[in-house]
Structure 1
Amino acid sequence: MSTDSTSAKDRSDNHHSLKSSIEQAIPFVERAKLRVIHLERGKATCEIPLEPNKNHMGSMYAGAQFTLADITGGALFLASFDSETTVPTLKNLTMEFVKPATSDLHLSLQISEQQILDMTQQAQAKGKAHCELEGQLCDRASEVVAHMKGDFFIVARTK
């Protein structure tokens, strides 16, 4: 097996392990049945089912939608930055609800390779780096039900 194949397999195994960790590390996320659908450096997609997250109006609870936005951003950062040297954190997250979410939802977020490199350098030099992420929470028919805008940071780990 070539080095390239081995490193690709290692990355795949690492992302599979990371997916499981993201889905199970926070009890609410596990109870909400949020799932990481796609994860790679610079890209993350998560989904959350309507059940068990239905509210008294028959649509998805706003807190579950917030969780989808928060966890997708966190998953993106965990897949994109070295967890040995940085920790992802959320400073601010705003949601604009467009219409009731009456089915499962998904959200995809991404950052460029250049953003990853710039943020890594900034975190090494200044102790933290900031990135604003925007995305649309979409239902099964790919219709937008909410817009999210988040201020995400990576913070350098102290040794």
Structure 2
Amino acid sequence: MATTIPAAHQMGVRIAESRRGFAAATVPAEGNGNHFGVVYGGVVFTVAEILGGILALSSFDATRFFPLVKQVDIKFVGMATTDLRAEASLDEDTIVAVQAEADAKGKADYIVEAVVTDAGGNVVAKTHGQYQIRTHPS
């Protein structure tokens, strides 16, 4: 993360789990607060947004494809004063379909729904993102 997304690394975002079809990331509350003592919204967004790329790297052929984000909408549903965890998944049918489209067309879109929770399991935010994998340039 330090070399690929330095800003997220500076926030303390860490990959907690990454396997085919599932990704989770964490970020500490310490050092990421705002002017009224809760985790800054940009930090909440970041820990959720990176999951689209993590899912791509663990679910698709990373030697052939790279991920990019096209659009992410976020709904803040709570405030956090504790460390955060974001989780997202892709089902096997989606992975197979996206890979097949990317094989045929050189790129394919996929949707990632992420949930961000605080240390008590309370939902802080939900995201809906459109991502894409593309063939690495030759």
**TM-score, normalising length: structure 2:** 0.93
The equivalent of 1:113 in structure 2 is: 92
The one-letter code matched in structure 1 to 2:29 is: L
Q: Does the Cα contact within 8 Å between 2:71 and 2:129 map onto a contact in 1? A: yes
Q: Bigger relative contact order, structure 1 or 2, given CA contacts below 8 A and separation 6+?
A: 2
Say which structure is richer in helix.
1
Q: Which of 39, 45, 49 is equivalent to 2:24?
A: 45
Q: Equivalents in 2 of 1:23, 1:110: separation in Å?
A: 24
Quote the sequence identity (%).
35
How many pairs are equivalent? Answer: 138
Say which structure is richer in strand.
2
Larger radius of gyration: 1
Q: Equivalents in 2 of 1:51, 1:73: separation in Å?
A: 25
Give unmatched runs, 5+ long, in structure 1: 1-21
Q: Which of 103, 120, 128 is equivalent to 2:107?
A: 128
- The correspondence of residues 82-93 of structure 1 with structure 2, limited to 5 A, is 82-93=61-72
Q: CA RMSD in A?
A: 1.3
Instruction: Give 4+ residue runs of structure 1 displaced > 2 Å after superposition.
Output: 22-25
Give unmatched runs, 5+ long, in structure 2: none
The one-letter code matched in structure 1 to 2:76 is: F
